[in-house]
Amino acid sequence: MASPIDPTRRRLLRGGMAGAGALLGAPLLALAPAAAAPLAGLAPRGIHASYTDRLASQRTVTWFTDDLLPGRHALAYQTGVAAWQRVGAQTQRLPGRRGWVHHAAIPAPPGAPVRYQAGLAAPAGDAPLLARHAAAPGELAGWPRGTRLRFTHFGDHGITAHSVANTAAVRARAPDVHFIAGDLSYANGTQPVWDTWFDQLAPLAASVPVMTVPGNHEHEDIFWGSRAYRARLRQPGAGSYYAFDLGRVHFLALTAGALFAADRDLLLEELRFAAEDLADAAARRARGELDFIVVLQHFTLWTDQLGREPNDPTLVLLEEPLLVRHRVDLVMAGHDHFYQRSQPMAFGRPDTRRGYVQIINGCGGQSLRQISRPVQPWSAFVLDPPRYCFTEYELDGLTLVGRTLASDGAEPVEVDRFAIAARPARQRRAAARPVAQLSQLWRAAEALRAVRAAG
């Protein structure tokens, strides 16, 4: 079946402004420049788009301003050839920083070009398109097999020159959505670092929805904790973990304890959410409504990073039984600053029947780490020496094709390629099990904590 996300539009984006005019008949989300310079302090910065709860009909745009008073902020948008309209923004104070964060949801109906402009300046309706947005993955819900979807992933990003290069390389690939597996800015309490990170991300995030999960560095904010992370981002649901479908792929995004490791009740609440979500997704996959289940989180379950090998015992006890019970297909992780791909595995052993593929990509730009040798039996590929890179996934019918591209040279270079096939009907049915009871898992984790605390 022909892809409804036309690859020609991706090539036009890579070609820059010369091909932008040809995109006017395609679904677009574009940032139009201001017609006049905005008032001092009101200039929008750090603009980024995301999906929230109404994926099929809306996009949420977030930006920041430095004005002293909150005022009334709005976003202008234009759908197709209709007149520009304005929608009010939800505004709140930035934690630990003078200024404000603004969130506005704009309609993005299927098949209609959409431009938007954050801020108070008059919109420039005849401005050239500076960025594009592909046919919205949220609009793929219920489409038949054969629909293509492309998404990218890395973790541990930061604000280094390597971070900027990796962002540019992802933008050149023009994915439909980009995922960041935690440790976003490495602000660690220095709030202006968040400003720098969002400014550097904006060339990508202003036109491609960017979805994130928190990492341990989002928690390690001396004064503000996770509030700094939560205030700046809008994603589905009310918490820091969430789930949604893009086409025939179900995504479950977890903190995996990054924010709640020391809070038993909050961590148990997240585990219960994961157990219920995976049970529901597995049942829908068994009915033929989904083809893949993907988990996004910061922490790795198993790893060959030197000093962290062989695994995270708490996650192996608490989370891995849920992944295996419902036969999750893919785990996208960060945390460990190298690239490693597993075979389908379960509990540290290769397992093609029940296992999941774990992609560790903590090579977003912050730093790189050493690899422990020899690698464990579950490992299928490890990039040694490590390089800054991102991983791209493309859904092609019943196959999820993956490529990892190193971004530390003049041009991105493919360093790994793999494919994950959709599970056969028998495995899908076997994974459609009732919601797991967490009591036994929790008792095991508590016992492990006691042993570790005792040294």
**pLDDT tens-digit profile, the chain (455 residues):** 333 333 322 332 333 323 322 222 223 344 333 333 345 567 889 999 898 887 777 888 999 998 777 677 888 887 767 788 888 999 999 988 888 999 999 887 655 667 788 876 666 554 323 233 333 433 334 445 666 789 999 999 999 999 999 999 999 998 989 999 999 999 988 889 999 999 999 999 988 889 999 999 998 765 666 788 989 999 998 778 999 998 889 999 999 988 876 677 788 889 999 999 999 999 999 999 999 999 999 999 999 999 999 999 989 988 999 999 999 999 999 999 999 999 999 999 999 999 999 999 999 999 999 999 999 999 999 999 999 999 999 998 899 999 999 999 999 999 999 999 999 999 999 999 999 988 766 776 666 666 666 65
Selection from 68, 89, 87 nearest residue 78 by Cα: 87
pTM over 0.85: yes
Scored b (16 or more CB within 10 A) or e, 145-154 reads: eebbbbbbbb
Q: How many helices (H) and strands (E) does the chain have?
A: 10, 23
Cα–Cα dist 150/137, whole Å: 9
Selection from 357, 389, 383 nearest residue 370 by Cα: 383
**What single string gives the DSSP state of each residue in 168-200?**
HHHHHH--SEEEEES--S--TT-THHHHHHHHH
DSSP state of 308: T
Question: Which CATH number is correct for 143-446, 3.40.605.10, 3.60.21.10, 3.30.460.10, 3.30.420.10?
Answer: 3.60.21.10
**What is the domain partition of the chain in residue ranges?**
24-133, 143-446
Angstrom distances, CA of residue 191 to CA of 96, 185, 206, 221, 357? 6, 10, 21, 9, 36
Place of tokens 């991706």: 10
> Three-class SS of residue 286?
helix
Cα–Cα dist 288/423, whole Å: 11
Specify the fold of 24-133.
Immunoglobulin-like (2.60.40)
Cα–Cα dist 136/251, whole Å: 15
Cα–Cα dist 423/354, whole Å: 10
> Three-class SS of residue 233?
coil
Give the helix/strand (H/E) hosting 379: strand 379-382
Q: Residue 114 corresponds to which tokens in the numbers above?
A: 């959409």
Please list the helix, strand and coil fractions of the chain in percent, rounded to the nearest 5, in that order. 25, 30, 45
Cα–Cα dist 282/326, whole Å: 6
